[in-house]
Structure 1
């Protein structure tokens, strides 16, 4: 039971992390100091895409699922399992990434403009 909670908590935190990566820059319009957190989150997103480094949240969820006697996440990882093919078709992965990048850049431009 406890391992299942670990897996589920890691999954929820992972979804929240991805939502924050996409729109968290807009929070900095109101709470300016959060821009540093968002820069780190966005950098991690870029790093994970460019290098393919595995996210610790994916590892935690996979570990929790396996310890609970469930099937682990597929080798392709969290996004392929929960998002690609569910939220958007797999063929649109690059378009989805571009959309998130545009959102982040727009939030940063807005941050700079609002700061002046």
Structure 2
């Protein structure tokens, strides 16, 4: 019973990671110290998808499922819980491009917000 709960907690962690991946750059607009962890999260996502690296959360979930007497995920987390639910099956490339675009837009907004002249940032006035 405990391993089933652990498996579901890992599903929740996966979804939390995906939410942070999608929205974490926007959080950095307000809290710039959150940008480095978001860069790491995005880099890891690219490494897993492009480099076909194994995801440690999926490995942990499969281990928990095995301990609970359940079979491993077929095709991994995305194939089991995201594909066909969050985007149509067969649209993986489009979903990845859209996700990447949202992340890049958030980073551009961070740059606009935090890399403008310090005087303008702290006084709220524009330099003329």
TM-score range, shorter chain: over 0.9
TM-score by length of structure 1 reads 0.95
RMSD of equivalent CA atoms: 0.8
Q: Is the deviation greater in 56-65 or in 82-91?
A: 82-91
- 1:31 paired to 2:36: no
Trace 1:1-116 onto structure 2 (pairs within 5 A): 1-74=1-74, 76-115=75-114, 116=116
Q: Where does the alignment leave 5 or more consecutive residues of structure 1 unmatched?
A: none
| TM-score after normalising by structure 2 | 0.86
List structure 1 runs of 4+ shifted beyond 2 angstroms.
none
Aligned partners of 2:52 and 2:6: how far apart in 1? 24
What is the total number of aligned residue pairs between the two structures?
115
In the alignment, the residues of structure 2 paired with residue 47 and residue 70 of structure 1 have an alpha-carbon distance, to the nearest angstrom, of 28
Deviations 1:27-81 (A, max 9, x none): 001111000000000000000111111110001111111111122211x210011
Larger CA Rg, structure 1 vs 2: 2
